[in-house]
Structure 1
Amino acid sequence: MKGQIVKALLLTATGMSFAGSASADEPQLSPAIVSGSYVQISNVPWQVALTFNGYQNCGGIIIGKKHVLTAAHCVENVNPYLLKVVAGVEDMADVTSENSISVTRIDSHPDYDDHSLRSDIALLHLASEIPDSASPIAILPPTKQHELDAQFAVAETRNLFVSGWGQTGTNSYASRFLQFTVMNGVDDFTCFGNDHNGVYSSFICANSSEPTGICYGDSGGPLIWQDPLATSDSDQGYFAVGVVSFTSWEGCATVNNEDGFTQISSYYNWISEKMGGYQKPDVTFEMDLFNLRTDYEPDTTLPLVESTSGGGGSLPIWFLTLMLPAALIRASLRITAR
């Protein structure tokens, strides 16, 4: 991390607005992640939002019909009965009882360190299966980690895909609509220093030569890589390789400062144990993640709260008009490359 201090990307509840939540007839949209583009949920069906006591504060990754990965710092000391997983939704105005799933159990990794953010990963067990509009994605097994590392070592660009509803900038707003951006994988030794007590096995790093990247509220979300040897597979070789964990203390999307993601393959066996045996999902994807349209515009005419046929399914207006800035900073990690 070249001497930088990092910030965990959890959001906490205060009274500021979502980007794009001015009014139904005068929408004011801002790109989020940071300098990202809007994306349809059908292109990222594994993406979920986590809501705690009604407030959206993190993202997550569907890895099974009833299992979601997220960051441990998102769910530390959280009562699972106050946590919901929102699946199959790109517009936070569409959150209803039908797509908001209860959590029955939270398994945070036992080695999670709130200071260093080591082992910043947790598994959520859902009360019911994900909706048809959502889909799991495969997680990268340890046997394939060397392929990803080899690609990072030659500095290939635009080989990682990340999405979320996080803030549009360090001092900006959370997004009502799902966003994505594409980043560059960074070699472990370049990022962390090759003698930093093996920290490179805990994290994946990514950066960009442009001011784009993750920000507060994106924590727990998916970092996706495509295996170049598996593009003809039904799932096109897409793997979840990282969980959004932290950014630079200097702010979000500062050029060439690495963002940090928990390396999923390092926790593959733990995940499988907690799931009672992980099986790669049998899914078919047709999207080309690394060549998605960047001019897609969501339907901004919908009101922030819509009624549902089930009755009582809409979340209250204060949920959809509050954003959650980075007031709670759990970690202050200093890593020096040598």
Structure 2
Amino acid sequence: MKAKVLSVAIGLITFSGAYAQSSDSAQRMVSPRIVGGTPAVEGDWSSIAAITDSSNKHFCGGSFIGGRYVLTAAHCLIGESIGSFNVHIGAYDRRNLSKDSSIGVVSYYLHPDYNAGTYANDIAIIELEKEIKESNGKTVPKMLLASFGDANSLTKGDIFTVAGWGTLREDGYKPYELNEVDVPFVDLATCQNTGKEGYDDIGPYDAICAGLEDGGKDSCQGDSGGPLVIKENGGYKQYGVVSWGDGCARKNAYGVYANVGYFNQSGNFIEKYTAGVSYTQNTIFMSKEEKRRVSLPLTNRSNERFDIRSITWPDGVTEVANSCTTTIEIGDTCTIDVDVDAAAAFPAGQDTANIQIETDHTVVSELSMNMVYITEKKQEGSGKSGGSTSLAMLLLAMFGFGLRAKRKR
């Protein structure tokens, strides 16, 4: 769950603020402390997911939550494009992550209020190209998700288990096999008052903490997006998504996890983005000189027909064609084609142009199709394989790929 922080001043960034810059922290000292887990038993984590890049290298974790959806961390996917990564469900050994076992991705959805400066709302949904019922000939159970009530009922003494393929020590090497470690729940007040940078920014609802005051056991770099669970009734219930922390397993530096129960409330993020309304949330532009025609398909895989009520167009984006003007029946796909003039869409200080769509769908009443400008693509070997290095140094500073010290993990 942790990655490296650069000695670069950046601004607080919210996803809805268009990948915009803000200010963050300086690099922490590296701790040699070992993260005290053990290899997991093969087959115990049939709902876990390994997320790999186009070269089939693991860079983040996730959990299969049913249908065609995988839950992960928002910071894992900043700057990604469709086709640049795949998912392997029920994985165990990284050496066996063949392209034959990979599942393609049709879209992904970052929390609209994800803030890359504080890592608030660090949660995302990956939509797969097909519904998953089996993997490698075995039935794949979905991960059971904690409710808001479950999360609010956590008390001192509750023990979580977190799993992933992250490094076995801070800035160390990654194991081939899936590893797991038990860590106790830490109440919010204790977590906020460590005296370490960033912990006092933790909000009251969107994150939970776990770990030991003396350190020694923790998730680490490369574990980002993976599940934090409690074992019950012979299975797992997921309470958290690996997000960030100050280094790995350091003293008085707890692991911070997106609070699944909070996002699993009726009408909240998980319900909305697994309702079956499929679209491209982010289209990436690499140059402000670019002029491009973009096709934006909208597919109704939900259980109700719906109509688009209105579309609000940003500067620099012009509608060319729109087949979504009539009722979108269950199973139908319509398309909105637009011309994007990047210079007009991304004036100085603005890196996102948002097409806002309102619908009469009972769950997905609004959606945003974003044109996003970034300066460089992720480089090979970036934060994705090992603890998340960078998107280009600027983007790493901005979005903290895989940091977990305030290093995403």
TM-score by length of structure 2 reads 0.56
Which residue in 1 is equivalent to 2:225?
220
- Is 1:265 aligned to residue 261 of structure 2? yes
Alpha carbon RMSD of aligned pairs, Å? 3.1
User: Counterpart of 1:78?
Assistant: 80
1:203 aligns with 207
1:324 to 368, 371, 386: 386
Asked if 1:140 corresponds to 2:146, the answer is yes
SS at match of 1:191: helix
Task: State the 1:42 CA deviation.
Answer: 1.4
Q: Structure 1, unaligned stretches of length 5 or more?
A: 1-6, 12-31, 278-317
Q: Which among 61, 66, 69 is matched to residue 68 of structure 2?
A: 66
Closer/same/farther in 2, CA of residues 10 and 257 from structure 1, 3 Å limit: closer
> Structure 1 residues 56, 75: closer, same or farther in 2, change over 3 A?
same
Equivalent runs, 1:223-234 vs 2, <5 Å: 223-226=228-231, 231=233
> Which amino acid letter does the alignment assign opposite residue 188 of structure 2?
D
SS of the counterpart of 2:258? strand
Does the aligned pair in 2 maintain the 1:213–1:253 contact within 8 Å?
yes
Q: Deviations over 1:2-39 (max 9, x none)?
A: xxxxx84489xxxxxxxxxxxxxxxxxxxx99221111
Q: Residues 10 and 326 of structure 1 are in contact (CA less than 8 Å); yes or no, is this contact kept in structure 2?
A: yes
Report the Cα distance in structure 1 between the residues aligned to 2:387 and 2:256, rounded to whole angstroms: 19
Match of 2:161 in 1: 161
AA in 1 matched with 2:167:
Q
Q: 1:200 is matched by which residue type in structure 2?
A: P
Query: CA 1:175/1:275 → structure 2, altered by over 3 Å: closer, same or farther?
Result: same
* 1:277-319 CA-partner distances (Å, limit 9, x unpaired): 8xxxxxxxxxxxxxxxxxxxxxxxxxxxxxxxxxxxxxxxx99
Residue pair 2:2, 2:222 contacting (<8 A) in 1 also: no
User: Post-superposition shift, 1:201?
Assistant: 1.0
Instruction: Map 1:167-182 onto structure 2 (within 5 A).
Output: 167-182=167-182
1:224 CA drift (Å): 0.1
Task: Give the structure with the larger strand fraction.
Answer: 2
Question: What number of residue pairs does the alignment pair up?
Answer: 252
State the identity as a percent.
Answer: 27
| Closer/same/farther in 2, CA of residues 68 and 334 from structure 1, 3 Å limit | closer
Q: Which has the higher contact order (CA 8 A, sep 6+)?
A: 1
Letter in 2 for 1:207: G
Letter in 2 for 1:267: F
Quote the Cα distance in structure 1 between the aligned partners of 2:189 and 2:215.
22
Q: CA deviation at 1:80?
A: 2.1
Contact 2:243 2:256 in 1 (8 A): yes
Contact 2:48 2:227 in 1 (8 A): yes
Quote the Cα distance in structure 1 between the aligned partners of 2:201 and 2:78: 25
What letter corresponds to residue 218 of structure 2 in structure 1? Answer: G
Counterpart of 1:246, as a letter, is W
Higher helix share: 1
Task: Write the mapping of 1:1-338 to structure 2, written as runs, cut at 5 A.
Answer: 8-9=2-3, 34-54=35-55, 55-130=57-132, 131=135, 132=138, 134-148=140-154, 151=155, 155-156=156-157, 159-193=159-193, 199-208=203-212, 209=214, 211-226=216-231, 231=233, 236=235, 238-248=236-246, 251-268=247-264, 269-276=268-275, 323-328=385-390, 329=396, 330-331=399-400
Which TM-score applies when normalising by structure 1?
0.67
Q: CA deviation at 1:41?
A: 3.8
Q: CA deviation at 1:192?
A: 1.5
Show CA shifts across 1:232-285 (max 9, x none): xxx65x31110000121xx211134201101112212211111118xxxxxxxx
Structure 2: give runs of 5+ residues left out of the alignment.
Answer: 6-32, 194-198, 277-379, 391-395
Distance in 2 of aligned mates of 1:163 and 1:133: 20
Counterpart of 1:92 in structure 2: which amino acid? R
Using a 3 Å threshold, how does the CA distance of structure 1 residues 253 and 62 change in structure 2: closer, same or farther? same
Structure 2 counterpart of 1:135, one-letter code: P
